[in-house]
């Protein structure tokens, strides 16, 4: 893992870019588990994060441009893991917050946000702090 240039403190990050297809999500689930374990998350917290990252990706894949790239950036900051997943989409719609999928994300990951860029790239950001209860960042 590398230090982010120009930022103070110990912030490690990992970026994974892969085809925007469900067949590749196991790579992100494995990366999530490994990085959360590095931060000494409990087994339950690791599993919650794996499911949350999988759910965030599933939301994005529903509207991802065919043949595009899904990007996932993991930032390790102190006892927290920040996960940002993004993909170019066909319609540039932010995920609906009143859906079951969004409820699952919020319950498992703590803080959850979404943004839409001008180029219709949709980003979902998750923040989980070690030792926080379900639904807490």
| pLDDT above 90 (res 131) | no
d(CA 17, CA 57): 12
Contacts of 37 (CB under 8 A, 6+ apart): 46
| Predicted local confidence at residue 110, as pLDDT | 86
- Domains of the chain in start order, with CATH, are 2-129 (3.30.565.10)
Asked if pLDDT for residue 2 goes beyond 70, the answer is no
Residue 9 has pLDDT above 70, yes or no: no
> What is the mean pLDDT of the segment spanning 11-17?
90
Per residue in 88-113, pLDDT (tens digit) is 999 999 999 999 889 989 999 989 99
Per-residue model confidence (pLDDT) at position 101: 87
Q: For 25-77, write each residue's pLDDT tens digit.
A: 999 999 999 999 999 999 999 999 999 999 999 999 999 999 999 999 999 99
120-132 in b/e burial notation, b at 16+ Cβ within 10 A? ebbbbbbbbbeeb
């Amino acid at each position: 893992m590398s230090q982010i240039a120009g930022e103070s403190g110990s912030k490690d990050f990992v970026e994974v870019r892969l085809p925007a297809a469900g067949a590749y999500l196991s790579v992100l689930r494995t990366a999530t588990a490994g990085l959360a374990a590095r931060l000494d998350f409990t087994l339950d917290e690791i599993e919650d994060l794996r499911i949350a990252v999988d759910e965030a990706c599933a939301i994005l894949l529903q509207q991802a441009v065919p043949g595009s790239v899904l990007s996932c950036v993991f930032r390790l900051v102190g006892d927290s893991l920040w996960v940002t997943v993004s993909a170019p989409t066909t319609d540039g719609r932010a995920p609906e917050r009143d859906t079951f999928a969004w409820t699952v994300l919020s319950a498992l990951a703590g803080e959850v946000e979404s943004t839409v860029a001008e180029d219709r790239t949709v980003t979902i950001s998750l923040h989980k702090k070690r030792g926080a209860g379900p639904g807490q960042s």
